[in-house]
Structure 1
Amino acid sequence: MNGVSVVICCYNSAQRLTKTIEHIVKQEITSAIKWELIIVDNNSTDDTAETANLVWTEYNITNINFKIVFEEKQGLNNARLKGIAEATYEYILLCDDDNWLCPTYIETAYSIMTNNPNIGVLGGFSEPISEFGLPLWFTTFQYAYAVGAQNLYSGDVSSRGYLWGAGMIFKKSVFTKLLTSGFRFQVSDRSGSSLECGGDSELCRWFLIAGYQLWYDERLKFKHFIPANRLEKKIR
């Protein structure tokens, strides 16, 4: 079914979710576009689920489907698989718990995907933001934080081989076929306090094998909140 399923995978995200959900609630979307929000609680030990439900309830939104689902097995890819399985609509938008989408993000993504059937995976422009400002060295290392432009201009970036998972949009129908054909993530990706990664690249590679394009569009803008403790030298 055409529409957008926004999936936020969460592990101990209670402190980050309020602003993230606030930006999703403020999306400017025509009534013709169907969409929903799915929170995946990846076995959190804080009140992630309660916080998500409280924030959403405060906005008193009744015409958009909202649900919180639980995935016991920790690991970002496990949480994503759960969210995708629960999704109603064709286009899956992976929004991290620290991503603040611009007001037109969902509608722009929907338009790009529906008008370009060869696009399998779509990515956008991530702007870093932090509570105390960014250190002078940040620009040199910003790619390690998956922020900034993913290409010099909008268009086909298949030759790059991957897009960042944050803000990524892809087709559920194609992903489901890939699973049926034997695709499995080889890494668990981020799990608990572990920062192991690679799931984004794996997913993109399989879409390329299936004959689809990777596409970057600079109109898809979002802020990526980076807490101060991730800007310490040891993180680099």
Structure 2
Amino acid sequence: MNIDFTVAIPTYNGAKTLPLLLEHLKAQIQTETIAWEVIVIDNNSSDNTAQIVYDTQKGWLPNVPLKYCLETEQGSAYARQRAIKEAKGKFVGFLDDDNLPALNWVASAHQFGLAHPKAGSYGGQILGQYEIEPPSGFDKVKKYLVIRKYANEAKLFEPERLRLPPGAGLVVRKQAWLDCMPDRFTRAHRGGHDYEISLRLHRQGWEIWYNPAMQIEHLIPAWRMEQDYLVRIARIYGLCTCEIRLILAQPWQKPFLLLKSLCGSLRRLIWHLIKYGNRINKELDLACEFAFFWGSVISPFYYLRKQLMRD
């Protein structure tokens, strides 16, 4: 059976939200002419993820395979690599276990890929579904939870400016992935790995697109809106800045880019301290921005340390 589209769900201890995601996939519309499949990649969970998939298979769609596979090497990069290996579709759409796709998500994703043959990857609009009312200042930091709308219409992303689709809802052309991705990614875990996929595709000449017709809702529990958590995530994003930027750089450019990154980040951090002072720890958006700048300052040293350890 030839498969047009694969939905890949990397998950780690996602038993609480996975059933709801599978329900949304089971209810997809406008897929009559699409041959598609769903693969759940269990990234070494300790909950009952496997049992949930096996139970769901019993009442699943007759013409849409629902598969389960276990990936024991921890990290979203490894789970996605395994998904590509298992996938039979021409396109592979990644959904996190806390993503709820719109009922036409599969159809919209497949149609967009066919209409844009130069697209190596593309993402859509991500809305937030919150367990509680978000705190003050949350609107400015929701980007760290990949809640975003890039444009009102289909538009090319800007990889050189690190304007790229996140991993949630990302669709890739499988052959482009096989041609462009290394055996091991620079970043194995979240916080940069999402961008690395599209940057490597872009470096090989593929276009990176935004398709607003592909909408998903991101389930946000209360604990993920707490300041300590958001500050930690912002710092991680800052910490991976150099690693991600240097993916597009030539070897001779890297020393200059490291120095430029350090100086720019240090300038922004100092200016942030001068401008906001004591307000930083009291206001959510200022605290997250400071954490991102601090992570960016450390980023060149973090990159060099990893390079030395690799050598």
TM-score using structure 2 length: 0.70
Q: Secondary structure at the match of 2:199?
A: helix
Q: What corresponds to 2:18 in structure 1?
A: 17
Give, as a single letter, the amino acid of the residue that structure 1 aligns with 2:69. Answer: V
CA distance in 2: counterparts of 1:64 and 1:2, whole angstroms: 10
3-state SS of paired residue (1:90): strand
Which residue of the partner structure matches residue 119 of structure 2?
119
Work out whether residues 3 and 37 of structure 2, in 8 Å CA contact, stay in contact via their aligned partners in 1. no
- Residue 205 of structure 2 corresponds to residue 204 of structure 1: no
Matches within 5 A, 1:1-236: 3-57=4-58, 59-151=59-151, 153-159=153-159, 160-161=161-162, 162-179=164-181, 182=182, 184-190=184-190, 197-236=191-230
Question: Which of the two has greater helix per residue?
Answer: 2
More strand by share: 1
User: C-alpha deviations, 1:212-231, integer Å up to 9, x for none?
Assistant: 11100111111000111111
| Separation in structure 2 between the aligned mates of residue 55 and residue 133 of structure 1, nearest angstrom | 32
Q: What does the per-residue CA deviation read over 1:134-179, in whole Å, with 9 as the maximum and x for residues that have no partner? A: 2232211111111020245421113454211000001000111124
2-structure distance, mates of 1:132, 1:149: 21
Output the amino acid matched with 1:228: A
Q: Contact 1:14/1:52 (CA < 8 Å) preserved in 2?
A: no
SS at match of 2:74: coil
What CA distance in whole angstroms lies between the structure 1 residues aligned with 2:170 and 2:48? 26
TM-score by length of 1: 0.91
C-alpha offsets along residues 16-43 of structure 1, whole Å, 9 cap, x if unaligned?
1111111111111332211100000111
Give the aligned partner of residue 194 of structure 1: none
Which structure has more RCO (C-alpha within 8 Å, separation ≥ 6)?
1
- What are the Cα deviations for residues 82-114 of structure 1, in whole angstroms up to 9, with x where unaligned? 111000111010000000000111101111110
Structure 1: runs of 5 or more not aligned? 191-196
Distance 2:158 2:140 in 1: 25
Q: Equivalent residue of 1:139, what SS?
A: helix
Residue identity matched to 1:217: N
For structure 2, list consecutive stretches of 5 or more residues without a partner in the other structure: 231-311
3-state SS in 2 of match to 1:3 = strand
State whether residues 31 and 106 of structure 2, in contact with CA within 8 Å, keep that contact through their aligned partners in structure 1. no
SS of corresponding position for 1:79: helix
Q: What's the offset of the Cα at 1:233?
A: 1.2
Larger Rg computed on CA atoms: 2
